[in-house]
Structure 1
Amino acid sequence: MAKTIAQASDNTAGFPVGEGGSGTPDGMRLRSLLPLVGPDFGAVGGSSQLRAIVGALLTYGLIISVLMVVTCGATWAISSSNGSWHAASKAKTGLFVALGGAALTGAALAWANWLLDVGAQL
């Protein structure tokens, strides 16, 4: 039989003392706490509009990255053929930065869609 706080002096939390005398509630598991704690996804409306805005912004980012790849690639080729090694080095750096930006932008679109899908399932 479980003791109450008045019967057990070592229980300071106010829970019935179980058979082990630990002062924790009997039968209380993490699963029983999960419905009580969690984000309120109903408070953030318009996830379809957010998805459209994020998609449009990331599309612009991809277009700019592709234009930078073309521009930096052409600049690298022209400056290398003319013997301007400093300009070729800067164009090569710009090309790699644009490729990295395109990769990150594409990954960001996939990540944002995944987060919106996961948020809808919670």
Structure 2
Amino acid sequence: MLADISIDPNTDGLPGIAALRTIVGAVMTVGLILAVLAVIAAAIVWALGSNTSNPHLAGRGKSGVLIAAGAAAICGAAVTLVNFFWDVGQSV
């Protein structure tokens, strides 16, 4: 007869877990700040392309705004996404 194995995340199993959480939070903050900077830079490129009648530059600016906004959404939703897939994995 096989025994059921039950393993849960251990938040105090290794030293430095609290510091690691702090580091991950700081990296998430840096990622969000860089995403805001990328949105601003891409919007400037988009405006310059539109103002100078350069469709290639305007298209690159539009793409940059969308990509930076997507990156911000992923950075903001990272914890929720990981928790969601953790719950999905636990139900398998």
Q: What residue identity is the alignment partner of 1:45?
A: P
SS, match of residue 33 in structure 1: coil
Unpaired runs of at least 5, structure 2: 85-92
- Higher relative contact order structure (alpha carbons within 8 Å, sequence separation ≥ 6): 2
CA deviation string 1:60-114 (max 9, x = no partner): 10010000000101110121011000011011111100000001001114556x6
The separation in 2 between residues aligned to 1:48 and 1:111, in whole angstroms, is 21
Q: Which residue of 2 aligns with 1:108?
A: 78
- For structure 1, which segment, 41-50 or 87-96, has the greater mean C-alpha deviation from structure 2 after superposition? 41-50
Greater Rg over alpha carbons, structure: 1
State whether residues 32 and 75 of structure 2, in contact with CA within 8 Å, keep that contact through their aligned partners in structure 1.
yes
Runs of at least 4 residues of structure 1 off by over 6 A? none
- For structure 1, which segment, 47-56 or 65-74, has the greater mean C-alpha deviation from structure 2 after superposition? 47-56
CA deviation string 1:16-51 (max 9, x = no partner): xxxxxxxxx7xxxxxx835xx314624333332121
TM-score (norm. length: structure 1): 0.57
Structure 1 vs Structure 2 CA RMSD:
2.7
Q: Which residue of 2 aligns with 1:92?
A: 62
Higher share in helix: 2
Unpaired runs of at least 5, structure 1: 1-24, 26-31, 116-122
